[in-house]
A and B are shown apart, each in its own frame.
Chain A
Amino acid sequence: MENLQEATKTDNLILAPRKKRWLMSPSADKAFHTLTKSLALFLFTLVIALVASMIYNSRLSLSRFGLSFVFSSTWDPVKELFGALPFVYGTLVSSITALIIAIPISLGVAIFLTEECPYKLRPIVLTLVELLAAIPSVAYGLWGIFVLVPFMRNYINPVLEKGLGFLPLFKGPSYGIGLLTSGMILAVMIVPIITAISVNSLNSVLPSQREAALALGATRWEATQIVLLNARSGIIGGIILGLGRALGETMAVTMVIGNRPEISLSLLAPSYTMASVIANEFTEATYDLYLHALIEIAILLFIITFIVQAFAQLLIRQISKGKKS
């Protein structure tokens, strides 16, 4: 009996009411749960609504052209004929060109920053690189028109034409504007992204990986390869983010790509991208079908970015599969 009483005493101590605090009740917990959940649902609904309204507002073009919209290369608003292939082509080729130029530069900078650069200089160089990401794209576009385009026209393109002109890829004539120039502008814009993310993932590689390689008789370069191998999923993530930005970039590209809806194998020829045609022709869309065709291009761009992201996720998961034991 005594024992029992003591037990109840201690129980009472444990259950004794604590000091009242703000929002301390089961109903407050529930409210918190509902609040966060509805915010998440809101975002989800927003995406669904966005897609639905895009489909609704492109219904004329969807029903008129069907799948041929994607595969037709005629874009003739006067004859009311719309095909998106030149824009898809221009978008993909300019973005891939940008990646080809940006990846080696970014990796080089990232390796230099994490391996070779004196410690005191590292934050300075990294800040400079990240600053590139903060420049508005229209400023890049202006720089492209007034500096890069003449430079390409007068120096780079003639050399490419002369040396590699036998390849359809570098066939003239060149105007300075075109796929290669827009690829270069895009490269400058995505280098900071890829570099910053690569630096992060290189820094997070355990120092013992490098030491283990060195202890086996690896040279500095061979040890760096091991470090890169460890950081590869992060680096690929950075590249995909860069690609995402390149695919969607509008302003800087439209200022230097030439805006001509034609498919040409040559990188020196003018082209057009999905994002820039939407921005450029939206105000000129004087009849509904035209407007609906532009919105359908927006849907295509959405699908392409979605596929790229999904593919990237798969790739990264595949690579990091072995990492978890």
Chain B
Amino acid sequence: MLVKNRNMENTSLESKEVKEVKEVKESKENKEEAKNLKVEVEAENLNFFYGEKQALYSINLKIPEKSVTAFIGPSGCGKSTFLRTLNRMNDIIVSARVEGKILLNNQNIYAPNVDVVDLRRRVGMVFQKSTPFPKSIFDNIVYGIKINKLANSRTELQQMVEQALKQAALWDEVKDRLNDSALALSGGQQQRLCIARTLAVMPEVILMDEPCSALDPIATEKIEELIVELREKYTVIIVTHNMQQASRVSDYTAFFLLGQLIEFDETEKIFTYPKEKKTEDYITGRFG
């Protein structure tokens, strides 16, 4: 629905962009409803350091549930770093240090009593380069289910695998070769497998770190369709370098620059009437 209509007539580049934005607008007629949505992820005065170097400066942000939020900005602006603070993936970096709070359903995930392992199950993550384990397709999905002890029987396990693959729109392509190595899949299929693997552990939030940057346009389109569908059930946060992608798939957009959150708003507003000059400059391609 949100995905760009490729047959659309366009007279000039500008009008194409306007039309795209219009499409997005139509699909979100119920603006009021969107505003009343519960806040799922919230950053409160978040600072982040790699050793001495500060990478994020007092980020404040509220991301509603069951929406797609895009993080855009030039390389090194801190958007990936911020994404990785949301499931505490930065914890594995020795010199990393966090100040401030990240609230997931009003609970601070940096509180001392938080179970990081369970947090990461609740906040799934898909990486830039697909990361299938060197196992069969079936076992890749099973891995997360097993370590989190989510299935009670073999039949339930198989059902969960099937459901996850269907949700990721991969089932039809792999149902006859579930025991083949996952590494034999194409790049786009591998990425959808990784999404299926994430869905299988029943997360609440799904983080995606440039999930399409290594894929061709057709594989990208499939992933984008998938992201739009995921919005029904999950809160999706996606880092992207591709502004068209941000405008196609997201409801909200956050623009980062030099470790600061410059602007956060509904995607259509960011792309039509940005409040900040810097956002406008970036979106219109004046830099970055």
Contacts and interface: CB of A to CB of B under 8 A. Distances in A.
A209 B131 CA distance: 6
A218 B117 contact: yes
Given A208-B127, A226-B133, A214 B184 contact: no
Interface in A206-222: 206, 208-219, 222
A212 B127 contact: yes
A216 B87 CA distance: 10
Contacts of B125: 211-212, 215
A322 B201 contact: no
Interface string B127-140: 10101011100000
Interface stretch (B98-106, B142-150, B241-249, B272-280): B142-150
B133 A229 contact: yes
Contact of B133 (A211, A212, A215, A321): A212
A219 B117 contact: yes
Contacts of A218: 117, 120, 144, 147
Given A211-B92, A323-B183, A325-B184, A217 B147 contact: yes
B120 A217 contact: yes
A157 interface: no
Interface string A285-325: 00000000000000000000000000000000000011111
A216 B92 contact: no
A229 B127 contact: no
A230 interface: yes
Contact of A214 (B89, B185, B186, B197): B89
A211 B183 contact: no
A215 B184 contact: no
Classify the secondary structure of A's interface with B.
helix
B94 interface: yes
A210 to B, nearest CB: 8
A216 B183 contact: no
A226 B131 CA distance: 11
Nearest to B125: A215
A212 B87 CA distance: 12
B198 interface: yes
Contacts, number: 76
Interface in B169-211: 181, 183-186, 194, 197-198, 201
A230 B120 contact: no
B134 A215 contact: no
B134 A217 contact: no
A256 B73 CA distance: 68
A32 B208 CA distance: 53
Contacts of A324: 183
Interface string A188-219: 00000000000000000010111111111111
A216 B116 CA distance: 11
B185 A208 contact: no
A230 B198 CA distance: 20
B281 interface: no
Interface string A36-66: 0000000000000000000000000000000
B113 to A, nearest CB: 17
B147 A323 contact: no
Contact of A211 (B121, B131, B143, B148): B131
A119 B94 contact: yes
A314 to B, nearest CB: 18
B259 interface: no
Contact of A322 (B127, B134, B143, B197): B134
Interface in A240-254: none
A118 B269 CA distance: 48
A325 B183 contact: yes
Given A216-B201, A219-B117, A325 B144 contact: no
B232 interface: no
Contacts of B185: 325
B198 A216 contact: yes
Nearest to B197: A216
Contact of B127 (A211, A230, A323): A211
17 contacts: A206-B131, A209-B131, A209-B133, A211-B89, A211-B125, A211-B127, A212-B131, A212-B133, A216-B121, A216-B147, A216-B197, A217-B148, A226-B133, A229-B134, A323-B181, A323-B183, A325-B183
Given A214-B89, A217-B120, A323-B183, 12 more contacts: A119-B94, A206-B131, A209-B131, A211-B92, A212-B131, A214-B92, A215-B87, A215-B89, A215-B124, A216-B197, A229-B133, A322-B183
Give the 4 A-B CB pairs with smallest separation, nearest first: A217-B121, A322-B181, A215-B125, A212-B131
